[in-house]
Amino acid sequence: KVEWGKAVSAKEISSRLKAQGSKVKAVFVTLCETSTGVTTDIKAIAEVVKDTQAVLAVDAISALGVIDLKTDEWQVDVVVSGSQKGLMLPPGLGFISVSLKAWPLIAESKSPRYYFDLRMAKKAWESTDTAFTTSVSLVVALNAALKMLKEEGLENVFSRCRKMADALRAAVKALGLKLFADESCASDAITAACVPPGIDGEKLVKTMRDSYGITIAGGQSELKGKTFRVATMGYLNEFDIILALSCLEKVLYQMGYKFELGAGVRAAEEVFLK
């Protein structure tokens, strides 16, 4: 079990693979864990998995198009993602890539399946089609989103998201708040911060949304009311972050948390000016 706020290490996975050998069919990891703001070192994990019998499956739903993931170069066997995060679309489209190493497991699987049958999907794709009716409007929107990413350039997208995340983390510290994720694995897609003592985290999020039209996310499960999360992905830019921070400062101050007004915004702008 990995402590919340920290990432599983390649060393730990390597140790488990050596101990259990061929019993391990697959290693499942998450590129970005959105409830805690943690990013996993996929490249390092792929390095220890690639020469074993196990396949590496990566949940890239919240970080595809935000954090670099070289599927073929790193020999990642399965990558799944969705349309609603870094690809900037409403929910409704799912994406998956499968390596040659992973296909035998799909073919041999005895699990019941119909709509989620990758054999049917692969056969349909040979004719540049889908096995079942797809959301044409979302596919058209996806084409536009991919064009935006291509025009900006992936490296520039990664850099923009990284700078927004750096600015946000600097602001959180300047406000005297604590980052939830360890900085060694802090995500460039989303930042989680701890709600200060005596402040109602759920009310904080609700007030920002209902009173000022600024939407951030609250904590989940055991972190409900204890953390808040701010995204740095998709088409967001530095002024979206500055606006969100300005609102966050105002609401925190109104709720009784004392700090130097403008400290967070200033810290963020200093990062953006570099």
Mean pLDDT of 27-46: 97
Q: Are 114 and 173 in a shared domain?
A: no
Q: Are 29 and 82 in a shared domain?
A: yes
Tens of pLDDT, residue by residue over 73-132, are 999 999 999 999 999 999 999 999 999 999 999 999 999 999 889 999 999 999 999 999
Q: Are 127 and 191 in a shared domain?
A: no
Which CATH number characterizes residue 68's domain? Answer: 3.40.640.10
Q: Cα Rg for the chain, rounded, in angstroms?
A: 21
Distance CA 127, CA 216 (A): 42
Q: Are 140 and 198 in a shared domain?
A: no
Q: Are 142 and 54 in a shared domain?
A: yes
- Count of domains for the chain: 2
What backbone torsions phi and psi does residue 218 show, to the nearest 5 degrees? -90, 180
Pick the last residue of a domain from 152, 177, 198: 152
Is residue 21 pLDDT above 90, yes or no? no
Determine the pLDDT at residue 30: 97
Which CATH number characterizes residue 167's domain? Answer: 3.90.1150.10
Q: Domain limits at 158?
A: 154-272
Say what the alpha-carbon torsion angle 221, 225, 227, 231 is, to the nearest 10 degrees.
80
Residue 4 lies in a domain: no
Amino acid 208 reads: M
Q: Are 91 and 160 in a shared domain?
A: no
Is residue 22 pLDDT above 90, yes or no? no
Q: Are 263 and 230 in a shared domain?
A: yes
Mention every residue, 6+ apart, whose C-beta is less than 8 A from residue 11. Answer: none
Q: Are 42 and 147 in a shared domain?
A: yes
Tens of pLDDT, residue by residue over 50-59, are 999 999 999 9
The angle formed by the CA atoms of residues 220, 225 and 229, to the nearest 5 degrees, is 60
Residue 31 lies in a domain: yes
Residue 42 lies in a domain: yes
Q: Are 245 and 179 in a shared domain?
A: yes
Q: Is 196 left (phi over 0), alpha (psi -120 to 50) or beta?
A: beta
Q: Are 125 and 167 in a shared domain?
A: no
Give burial (CB, 10 Å; 0-12/13-18/19+) of 75: middle
